[in-house]
Amino acid sequence: MTIISGKKREKIDRLAELAARDEERGVSLWQDAFRRLRRNPAAIVGAVILTIFVLVAVFGPFFVPYSPKDTMGIREGVVRVGQGLIPGHSAEHWLGYDHQGRDVFSRMVVGARQTLLVGVVATLIGLAAGAMIGGVAGAAAGLGGRWGRWVDATLMRFIDMLLALPSLLLAVSIAALLGPSLTTVMIAVGMVSVPVFARLLRGSMIAQSNSDYVLAATSLGVRKSKIALTHVLPNSLAPVIVQATLTLATAIIEAAALSYLGLGNPDSALPEWGVMLADAQQWLGIRPALAIYPAVAIIITALGFTLLGEAMREALDPKLRK
């Protein structure tokens, strides 16, 4: 057998190396998921929509041409509701006036901030409460033995009760209890998503508790509480994060629905898309565009969150990983 020359051997090894690996540093699961996310066109579209939305919500109010509360149309006599006169778009007022003579474009931009606030806070409320309950129940059920099963059963019956109530009804009753305000809307919408997050995290944690690496950690002698926090919880979060993104979309729609029903901020001077939509319904005959602007904005934003959420679900799916 001939001795293989050094140069050739190098070449073989290099080619094999190239075929086997493409990156030098370790890539964690999150990095890997992000990489796949970037390749997904739906994720890009969702991300672009949301970036625009967030930029408008954060910085837009500083650049609006008019105050959203300024009823200039009435003052100037341009808007005369009694005579069915609500002027549409013009060079000064890009989206025209509303029924109180306010600049619709400014209201839309400022409303974006309110809408984002409601969506994010409501989702955070639901996520925090749901994850807390679900996390405790999941850890107890997965690792806690007999006592754990009792804790889990008790918490879950409570969640089942929440789940049994129709979501809108629950929100309406919370709103009725606390009186109509923006906070009410946020709490109500958040409460509705609590059972979803709780069940999701619990289920995911129980599934993870049965996996071999938990057994491996147990056999290393690691404490159960530490296993729950360092192994089970981080591995159970992916579906919850995806759900949070999707919940943001529904939260915005639900908040709009509650505002529409008159459970939102009674001070309609501060614009919010749902409130604007509710107000616009009286003037549908005169100027339907007043309803179309906030409706389209809500739909596009919800679509952005949904696209990103679904793309994240795909990117984080372990089955799709090579």
Partner 1 sequence: MSERDMLVEVRDLKVHFPIKRGVLFDRTVGHVKAVDGVDLAIARGKTYGLVGESGCGKSTLGRALLQLTPPTAGEVSFDGVELTKLAPGKLRAMRRRMQMIFQDPMSSLDPRQNVESILTEGLQTHGIGGDREGRRKIIAETLDKVGLPRWALSRYPHEFSGGQRQRIGIARALVLGPELIVADEPVSALDVSIQAQVVNLLDELQESLGLTYLVIAHDLAVVRHISDTVGVMYLGALVEEAPSDRLYTEPLHPYTRALMSAVPVPDPDVEDRRERILLAGDLPSPANPPAGCRFHTRCPWAQPTRCADERPALREIGDSRVACHFAERIASGELRPHKVSVEIVRPEGEGEEPGVVSAPSEPGSFV
Partner 2 sequence: MALLDVEELSVTFSRRGQRTVRAVDGVSFSVDAGQVVGLVGESGCGKSVTSLAIMGLLPRQPGLQVGGKAVFDGTDLLQLDDRSRRDIRGRDIAMIFQDPLSSLNPVIPIGLQVTEVLTRHRGLKGATAAKEAAQLLDRVGIPDPKRRLKEYPHQLSGGMRQRALIAMAVACQPRLLIADEPTTALDVTIQAQILELLKDLVRDSGTALVMITHDLGVVAGMCDTINVLYGGRVVETARRRPLFRQPRHPYTVGLLGSVPRLDAGRGERLNPIPGSVRDLLPWADGCAFAPRCTRRVDACVGEPPELVRTHDARSYRCVNPAPLPGVTPQPQPTEATGPAPAAEDEVEKA
| CB-nearer residue toward partner 1: 181 or 218 | 218
Residue 16 interacting with partner 2 (CB under 8 A)? yes
* Nearest CA among 259, 291, 254, 285 for reference residue 272: 259
Instruction: Say if CB 218 and CB 271 are below 8 A apart.
Output: no
Q: Which residues bind partner 1 (CB under 8 A)?
A: 25-29, 32, 211-213, 215-223, 231, 234-235, 318, 321
Matching residue, tokens 């001939």? 2
User: Which of partner 1, partner 2, none sits in contact with 91, Cβ below 5 to 8 A by type?
Assistant: none
* Nearest CA among 260, 139, 258 for reference residue 206: 139
Residue 2 interacting with partner 2 (CB under 8 A)? yes
Evaluate the CA torsion angle 270, 274, 280, 282 in order and state its sign.
negative
The CB-of-143 to partner 1 minimum distance in angstroms stands at: 12
Q: What is the DSSP letter of 83?
A: G
Residue 319 interacting with partner 2 (CB under 8 A)? no
The CB-of-33 to partner 2 minimum distance in angstroms stands at: 15
Residue 320 interacting with partner 2 (CB under 8 A)? no
Q: Which of these segments, 16-24, 124-132, 138-146, 249-257, binds partner 2 (CB under 8 A)?
A: 16-24
| CB-nearer residue toward partner 2: 13 or 76 | 13
The footprint of partner 2 on this chain (CB under 8 A) covers a number of residues equal to: 14
In the beta sheet, which residues pair with residue 97?
Answer: 103
| CB-nearer residue toward partner 1: 211 or 282 | 211
Helix (H), strand (E) at residue 304:
helix 289-316
Q: Which of these segments, 13-21, 122-130, 183-191, 294-302, binds partner 2 (CB under 8 A)?
A: 13-21
The CB-of-165 to partner 1 minimum distance in angstroms stands at: 21
| CB-nearer residue toward partner 2: 39 or 75 | 39
User: Which of partner 1, partner 2, none sits in contact with 12, Cβ below 5 to 8 A by type?
Assistant: partner 2
| CB-nearer residue toward partner 2: 10 or 267 | 10
* Nearest CA among 98, 117, 18 for reference residue 277: 98
256 phi and psi, to 5 degrees? -60, -40
Question: Alpha-carbon distance 10 to 285, whole Å?
Answer: 79
| CB-nearer residue toward partner 2: 17 or 267 | 17
Question: Alpha-carbon distance 245 to 126, whole Å?
Answer: 12
49 phi and psi, to 5 degrees? -55, -50
The CB-of-312 to partner 2 minimum distance in angstroms stands at: 18
Instruction: Say if CB 320 and CB 136 are below 8 A apart.
Output: no
| CB-nearer residue toward partner 1: 23 or 62 | 23
Please pick, from the candidates 31, 39, 58, 234, the single residue that binds partner 2 as defined by CB under 8 A.
39
Residue 15 interacting with partner 2 (CB under 8 A)? yes
User: Which of partner 1, partner 2, none sits in contact with 212, Cβ below 5 to 8 A by type?
Assistant: partner 1
Instruction: Say if CB 187 and CB 178 are below 8 A apart.
Output: yes
Please pick, from the candidates 1, 91, 164, 220, the single residue that binds partner 2 as defined by CB under 8 A.
1
String of DSSP letters for 192-247: HHHHHHHHHHHHHHHHHHTSHHHHHHHHHT--HHHHIIIIIHHHHHHHHHHHHHHH
